[in-house]
Structure 1
Amino acid sequence: MAPLVPRLHLFEIDDQTWFPSFLRARVQAALTATWTTQVPILQSTSPARLAARLLSSNLGTTVRDYVFIDFCAGGGGPTPEIEKHLNQVIKSTRSSSTSATCNDPVANGTTSTASYAAAPPNRPVRFVLTDLHPHVDDWKKAASASPNLSYIPDSVNAAHAPADLVGSYKAEGTKVFRLFNLAFHHFDDPLAKAILKNTLETSDGFGIFELQERSLIKGFIPVLLFGFGILLIAPYYAIKWRSPATLFFTYVIPILPFVLVFDGWISALRTRTPEEVEALLRKCGVEGGQEEVIKWEVRSGRASFMGPVGHLNWIICVKREG
């Protein structure tokens, strides 16, 4: 059922050029922590681990045929954690018996019964970080922790992906899968259509993962709870980041919780439903027209990571075989 509130492409504070860069870094770090943290008892898993399981269950044995390129990586976001968890899933499944299947209930009915153990040996799945505004220092640190994670230091426009970026992988027989983690809602309709057009013409799959949606119960209330959570965990991250300023801008001048909640609500208003994304696909003007669009299969769903209020909304789109 379509949301009662129409999509509104309003502004987020964190996107504005006047917002201080040191505060933006703390906001992005808090969002990354939201993706990667699993609070005992409260959370069944972390959103990043959940995204890895969704990629595994939806792509099945073909998951190792792809290189996953994050086109809006920011400071790194959840992609390094998704890489770690996805390769752990592949490794553990490959080592199981050949009769084991890759059924995962988080896929909301979409499962794969193919066995990784039956697939030919292959190297771990690779992930690449890119962005229009590269965060090279952050990416270099993340890449140093995993041989399966790399980055492009130059600016990369998701609407005009460099031919040598996608072409180099296709030349070696690897499929290209684009990731948009907490990012696709940032694009207005013309830019979203341009990005989808470029994706359909140069890639073999894409995934959109959002932590919010246009809903009072599942969209606005979780963001408000997230704001209260920031007040509770700020001391921990202030110590972890060695940042007394985090405490100052959380409790004395509460800019960080305000921006995180305000931008979270705006993000909810900007978020598209799977049906709206499919509508953009049909209007994106891809070469070959509607015949080219129907060659793609769209899957979507909502998976829980924290009781009734914490959900990961996902859309996974892949080229049909044959």
Structure 2
Amino acid sequence: MNFRLHLFELEDQPWFPHVLRQGMLDFLRFMINRLHAYEAAIPLLASLLRKTNTIHFTDLGSGAGGGIESIQKALSRQVGQPVQVTLSDLYPNLAAYTYLKEKSGGKIDFIPASVNATSVPESITGVRTIFSSFHHFSPKQAKAILQDAAEKKQIIGVFEGASKSWLELLVLWFGFPIAIFFITPFIRPFRFSRLFFTYLVPLIPLGIIWDGTVSLFRIYTPAMLQQMVASIQVPGYTWQTGKVGNRFGKYVIYVIGYPDETMVQE
């Protein structure tokens, strides 16, 4: 699937009901955590933390915090000490962030104010990350996010849990409806609205299938990312792009950037 279509996602629309958006994001968070979808990206991020001598990263465009819980735990095991995470978003999901903060015992925290990923305030520190949401941005916005990190000499790691393949699309269309039907009662925190809009009025499953399809079409391939970073001319800043993972459901497309002077020998 070596093309990109920037179609609209329902969860991006301001008119889209919050209860449906929340139900869709809760399912995404549950699946990412249970499947450990970002397992292949953990060594990349751990290497960045070790090389920069830090145990903190700030996530941009966090949405409902999908996958961050399992990522934080796996990353902490990889580096041998608890990693601190700060969630942020242009429209912070405070209910989801508070839930994750309480569940993690404070290891996952959040910024309650709006944070624009294309222009992150200098006061926000830590390795910058974006998980599962980079495809939401247009090419102009995506480049601005990377440009902002490079110009401010900040480290950034962007990760998309997919291979962008036709097989993934088929699994989404024919496998996810079954998964949604059986998994929904086990998603926490429990919400009656999630049951209602899954089983009685199945708007959440329809939204998941639509947005999942659009997401696959929107994801930037490693070649697209390489072309994007090649146009960012910031001296002393290094970019790496690629895809890691060795089996279906475990592939991760990534772009990593860091200022050369911040790196120390491992």
TM-score by length of 2: 0.87
Cα 1:235–1:11 shift into 2, 3 Å? same
* Structure 1 residues not aligned, in runs of 5+: 39-45, 92-122, 167-175
Deviation per residue, 1:36-59 (Å, 9 max, x gap): 014xxxxxxx12444434422x43
Cα 1:134–1:309 shift into 2, 3 Å? same
What's 1:269 paired with?
Answer: 217
Query: Which of 120, 145, 148 is 1:198 aligned to?
Result: 148
Question: How far apart in 1 are the matches of 2:171 and 2:160?
Answer: 13
How many residue pairs end up in the alignment?
Answer: 259
Task: Give how far 1:15 is off.
Answer: 1.2
Question: How far apart in 2 are the matches of 1:205 and 1:300?
Answer: 17
What's 2:171 paired with?
Answer: 222
Deviation per residue, 1:169-225 (Å, 9 max, x gap): xxxxxxx421111100000011111111101112442222223343212x3123222
2:64 is equivalent to residue 75 of structure 1 = yes
| Partner SS, residue 185 of structure 2 | helix
Cα 1:68–1:60 shift into 2, 3 Å? closer
Could you list the runs of 4 or more consecutive aligned residues of structure 1 that deviate by over 4 angstroms after TM superposition? none
CA contact (8 A) 2:40 2:244 kept: no
Query: Which of 240, 249, 253 is 2:197 aligned to?
Result: 249
Question: How far apart in 2 are the matches of 1:32 and 1:79?
Answer: 8
Task: Give how far 1:143 is off.
Answer: 2.1
2:125 is equivalent to residue 163 of structure 1 = no
Question: How far apart in 2 are the matches of 1:196 and 1:252?
Answer: 43
CA RMSD after TM alignment: 2.3
Aligned counterparts, 1:106-125, within 5 A = 124-125=82-83
CA contact (8 A) 1:64 1:125 kept: no
Question: How far apart in 2 are the matches of 1:214 and 1:182?
Answer: 13
CA contact (8 A) 1:128 1:152 kept: yes
Aligned counterparts, 1:307-318, within 5 A = 309-318=248-257
Question: How far apart in 1 are the matches of 2:219 and 2:127?
Answer: 21
Identity of aligned pairs, percent? 28
Aligned counterparts, 1:84-233, within 5 A = 84-91=73-80, 124-144=82-102, 145-166=104-125, 176-217=126-167, 219-224=168-173, 225-233=175-183
Deviation per residue, 1:85-144 (Å, 9 max, x gap): 2112222xxxxxxxxxxxxxxxxxxxxxxxxxxxxxxx7432211110112232233223
| Partner SS, residue 311 of structure 1 | coil
Cα 1:151–1:162 shift into 2, 3 Å? same
The letter of the residue matching 1:47 is: A
Question: How far apart in 2 are the matches of 1:191 and 1:182?
Answer: 15
Cα 1:312–1:269 shift into 2, 3 Å? same
CA contact (8 A) 2:33 2:69 kept: no
| Partner SS, residue 90 of structure 2 | coil
CA contact (8 A) 1:213 1:272 kept: no
Question: How far apart in 2 are the matches of 1:140 and 1:245?
Answer: 20
CA contact (8 A) 1:211 1:313 kept: yes
What's 2:14 paired with?
Answer: 17
**CA radius of gyration, larger in:** 1
Task: Give how far 1:320 is off.
Answer: 6.0
TM-score by length of 1: 0.73
Deviation per residue, 1:222-265 (Å, 9 max, x gap): 3222232111212333xx44323323222222111111111111
Q: Relative to structure 2, which stretch is displaced further, 272-281 or 244-253?
A: 244-253
Question: How far apart in 1 are the matches of 2:24 and 2:153?
Answer: 31
Task: Give how far 1:280 is off.
Answer: 1.3
Question: How far apart in 1 are the matches of 2:190 and 2:142?
Answer: 38
Task: Give how far 1:150 is off.
Answer: 2.2
Question: How far apart in 2 are the matches of 1:132 and 1:83?
Answer: 22
